Amino acid sequence: MRAASVNRRRILGLWLPRLSTDRIERRSPPPSASPAEGARAPRVVAAKRDNALVVVACDAYATQGGLMPGMPLATARAMHPALEVIDHDPFADAALLAAVADWCDRFTPLVALDGADGLLLDITGCAHLFGDEAELLAMLSAALMRQGFAVSAAIAGTAVAARALTRGAPGKIVAPGEEAGAVAPLPVAALGVDEAIVRGLRRAGLTTIGDALARQPSELAARFGEAFVAVLRRASGEDDAPISPRKPAPDYVVDKRFPEPIATIEVIMPTLVKLARLLIGAMERGGKGARQLTASFFRSDGAVRCITVEAGQPVTRVEVVERLFAEKLDALADPLDPGFGFDLIRLAASHSVTITEAQRGFDTTAHQAEDVAALADTLSARLGARRVIRYLPQDTHIPERAALAVPVQHCPPDGADAPWPARTDEPPLRPLRLLQQPEPIEVLAGVPDGPPAQFIWRRVTHRVARAEGPERIAMEWWRAASPELTRDYFRVEDDAGSRFWLFRDGLYGREMMPQTDGSGHPRWYMHGLFA
């Protein structure tokens, strides 16, 4: 294949080859093999593969002792009797890799996962913020090593080339258009393709990427598939594909770096206000307003804390941003822990919309909607967006579907104007309080088509003194995957004066066929309580 650079994209590949053992060692260092030797025992992480225990990760001492991932655990124990073995925890590894990815957001917002132990960072156009690509690579690697990770990193023009270099030539920075020559001496396994393809290439005598690039694409496609040929084209820089970031890039973002970490709220809040002023100014120039704002606090030890606030109306004033974050910070159940301090604070408009200026008159009621929206934003910041809701009427006879609960900040603009059906019934035919889910009751005495004479609800027996009904409601067959039973609702009052709304689920002799063994009878439910 003939390499030709198709773009100027720059990708930084990051590989954590000992992620599993590094995670464990950061929590508890490995013990010594024996006091006499004074050496530390090798540590490996093992998992079951094809009904056999194999080594999936090795620490530095195990690697020096000749152990490697993929080796049977029995062989590793024979080589090192004092070997320390820990069960593989893929979920804990994934959580740690996600935390590292969050930390990498300080360099670029475009961070993608690369397997179970790697990351890909799109640093196109942002390396100059850290000096140059070499300084960025050195800074990132040194910071992760200080946090206790073994790191392998490289920079190239495509994600496949960057990934291959991290596995075969760590620390290398490939100039645009030179990917083919850089990856040629690397083993084909560095491409990250299926193991069956790697074995097939080796049997064919193609042990390096350069060997595969020297063959005709049609030959490789016939043997190993078009997907492998596409990977080769990307490795050589002849083709490219964008990475898939973990998080969407924010619409607008500003940040502040500190030469010395900060730790007090007296410094954090003024910093957020200054960032908000910059962010609002940038959005004003684009005619935008923020519907969602995210503040990210990067600790010097690598931990990252993100706080998000939402607004029902586009935010265009710094005072609103300050108020929302102040409410959010005050209401945190888990306070913002600065640890050894924050060395970077970032404010991003995760979601922005175009704003249109409206002509205001002298009517004092014209601002009521804005005041209500501001109150809703404040309550949502303190209590949570899902806890401040508005009910919207629905065109249905099913009681539990008659109103839709929507977070007030996500309510459509015309939601407040939706008409509710007028109540003309006196006394009311529907209860004031409707249970979230109908609760089953035990009927002690009843007739096939009438209300129960006595029932038990929540372990309390109620004797029915008066009853009205039935009100028959057929379920909406076009919304259900399977047929639902017809309900007969009754308004009943017990001998203590309490009033309930009950229903029988199913019709006698039509939907429910009672059997001699007592089965097949409709069930009764409590659905609401009258005032």
Residue 27 has pLDDT above 80, yes or no: no
The CA-atom distances, in angstroms, between 313 and each of 360, 375, 376, 384, 457 are 16, 11, 10, 16, 45
Rounded to an integer, the average pLDDT of 377-395 is 81
User: At 366, is the pLDDT very low, low, confident or very high (cuts 50, 70, 90)?
Assistant: low
Q: For residue 287, what is the DSSP state?
A: T
Q: Which two tokens stand for residue 145?
A: 């090593």
Q: Residue 6: its pLDDT value, please? A: 45
Residue 36: pLDDT above 60? no
Over residues 468-513, the pLDDT tens digits come to: 888 898 888 887 777 788 899 999 999 999 999 999 988 877 777 7
Share of the chain above pLDDT 90, in %: 29
| pLDDT tens-digit series, residues 197-222 | 888 888 888 888 888 888 888 888 88
- pLDDT of res. 507: 83
pLDDT value of position 155: 94
Lateral strand order in the sheet of 288-299: 252-262, 342-354, 288-299, 304-315
Q: Which segment of 67-76, 163-172, 447-456 scores lowest on mean pLDDT? A: 447-456
pLDDT at 4 over 60: no
Residue 408 has pLDDT above 90, yes or no: no
Q: Is the pLDDT of residue 70 over 80?
A: yes
Least confident of 78-87, 338-347, 351-360, 439-448: 351-360
User: 423 or 381: which carries more pLDDT confidence?
Assistant: 381
d(CA 492, CA 512): 23
> Could you give the 3-state DSSP secondary structure of residue 43?
strand
Left (φ > 0), alpha (ψ -120 to 50) or beta: where does 225 sit? Answer: left
- Give the pLDDT of residue 515: 66
| pLDDT given at position 137 | 93
Predicted local distance difference test score (pLDDT) of residue 502: 93
pLDDT at residue number 346: 92
Average pLDDT over residues 246-262: 89
Cβ contacts of 310 within 8 Å, gap of 6 or more: 291, 292, 293, 377, 380, 385, 409
pLDDT of 432-456, one tens digit each? 888 888 999 998 766 677 888 899 9
Q: Quote the pLDDT of residue 413.
A: 65
Q: Which of 276-285, 346-355, 398-407 has the lowest mean pLDDT?
A: 398-407
Answer whether residue 38 shows pLDDT above 60: no
Per-residue pLDDT, 277: 92
How would residue 365 be classed by pLDDT, with cut points 50, 70 and 90? low
* pLDDT of res. 35: 42
Residue 433, C-beta contacts closer than 8 angstroms, at least 6 positions apart: 528, 529, 531
Q: Return the beta strands (E) in 330-408 as ranges.
A: 342-354, 389-393, 403-407
**b/e burial code for range 6-28 (CB count within 10 A of at least 16 → b):** beebbbbbbbbbbbbbbbbbeee
Mean pLDDT, all residues of the chain: 85
For residues 292 and 30, what is the distance between their CA atoms, to the nearest angstrom?
45
pTM, rounded to two decimals? 0.72
Q: What is the largest CA-CA distance in the chain?
A: 92
